Chain A
Amino acid sequence: MSILRVENLKAHYVTRKHRKVTRVLAVDGVSFQINKNEIYGIAGESGCGKSTLLKAVSGLIKPPLEVVEGQVQYQFDDRDLDLLTLRGEQERREIRGVRISHIPQGSMSVLNPVRRIRKSFEDIIGAHLGIKDKREFEDMVRKHIEALGLDWNVMHSFPHQLSGGMRQRITIALATILRPDVIFADEPTTALDVVVQRGVVQLIKTIKKEQQNTLVIVTHDLAIHANLCDRLAIMYAGKIVEEADAEALFADPKHPYTEMLLDSLPIVGDRTTRESAPGAPPSLVHPPSGCRFHPRCPQAMERCKLEAPNLIEVEIGHRVACFLQEGIVDENVQEFDAR
C-alpha cells in the first residue's frame, strides 16, 4: 500500500531579472510511489535535483523554488492529503514535524546556537502537543532519547558543546520524537566520518523498526543506500532514470548511467583502476535534448538525441528510462503473447 504518490512532478527554480526569466529545471517530470513502511532511497550525483525533489514532495517550497506541475498525494492511515493544495501557514504547520519530518544534513548549524538542546525539544513538542506538565514532557523526551542511546545530560548542553555525530543524533531524535508517518532524510550522513556514519545508520534503522514509519533517504553515497534501502531510485538531471528494489538494482543495473555509477564504486581486493562517468552533469537551465544522458552515454544512438525515453517497467518493480530496454520489453511482450 502506498503512502506517497508523486505524479509528473515538475519543480523549477525560477528567477526573474529584468523581465528575463531563468528556469532551472531541477525536477522535471518525476513520478513514483512510496510504499508504507519501506525505506526508499534516491541517489544521484550532485546537482541532479534529488534534494529539490525532497523539498518539493515534503512541502518545503519557498521562492525561487516553484512547483510548476504535478501532484503529491499522501495517504495517511486516517486521512488523505494533497500536499500541493495546502494553503496557509497553519495547515502546513500541522503537517510538519508530526506527519512529515526532516532529518537534515549532518552539519554544524541545524540547531539554534543560542538555545540549549532541551529548549529545542520544548519548542517542537510545545508547538504540536503543548506542554502542560513538565514531568510528562521530561518523561517523554527521556524515554525517547534513552531509547536512542543518548544520555539525558546532553539536554543541558548548547549545540557547540557537542560533537558532530552527537548533534546529528540529537537532530534525529528531534525529527522522530513526534512519531511522524514519513521521515525525509537529506544527506543524513554527509560530513560525518565513517564510524559516526555507521552509528547514524544504525540509529535510523532502530527508529524505523520501532516506530514503523516510512523513510525517504537522499544521498549520493551508494553504500548508505545499499545498507538501508528497500527500494532505490537513480536520478539524473532532474529525472528518475531507474528505479528498482535495492538488491535488484545493485545486482542487475539496466540504465547505462546506473551501470557507470556502480562501476565507479571500489571493490575490496580489486586493484584495477575505477572508471568514473566521463563528462560533467549537464546544465539544468538548458538540459540536453532527447535523453538527458545521451552526451555522456557510451551507447547513445541517433534516436536518443531526439526523443526522451519514458520510465517503463521492464521487470516487475524495475523501471528504466532507456531506449536500449524498449526492445527487450517488446520481446517480453511478444513472448508473453506467443504463450
Chain B
Amino acid sequence: MLIHCTMEELVSIRDGEGSAAARQHLDACDACMEEMERLHQRIAHLKALPAFEAPRDRWPEVERVVRGDRRKRYARLIGWSSLVAAASIALLVGLRGFSVAADDPSKEVAQLIEESQHLESMLRAIKPSSRVMNGRMASAVVQLEDGIELIDETLEELSRRRRNAVELEQLWRQRVQLMDALVTTHAARTASYVGF
C-alpha cells in the first residue's frame, strides 16, 4: 500500500528537514511531488501579497508618548530642584517671620510649586500614555509639553545661580498654566473616550 506524505512532512521537507523515508517517497511519487509544487506556489503567492499602508500617520502620537517619557524623567530630576527651591523659600519666609506681606513673591512661588505638583499628580492619575489620540490633539499636547520642558530647563538653570524671586514666580506661574492646559486637554480626551 502506498502511503503519501502528510502536509506536515511536506512542510518539513521544504524546510530542509523531514525523515529519510518521506524524502524517498517524495522523490518517487508524482502526486506528492505535485503537492510539494502546490505548497511552493502557495508560499510564493503569500510572499507576493501587497503591502498595507497605515490609514493614519501614527508618528505624532509616538513622538508624544516618547516626549512624555523624557519629560517624566526630567520631572524626576527637576523634582529634587523644586524641593530644594521650596525648602529655601520656606526658610526665607520662616526667617522673616509673620511680617512677610501676603503678596510676597517667595510665598507665591511656594504656592505655585505646590499647585504644579498637584497638577502633575492629576496628570499621572489620568495616565495619558495609555490612550490613543488623534494627530491634531497629539501635536497640541507636544507643544504644551515642549513649553513645560523649556520652563523646567530654565528653572534648573536658575537654581544654579542666584535666585530672583520675581523671575521664579513668573516661571512657576507659566508652568502651572501650561500644566493646567495639559491636564484639561487630557481630561477632555478621557471624557470623550468614555462617552461623556
Bound pair (A, B): no
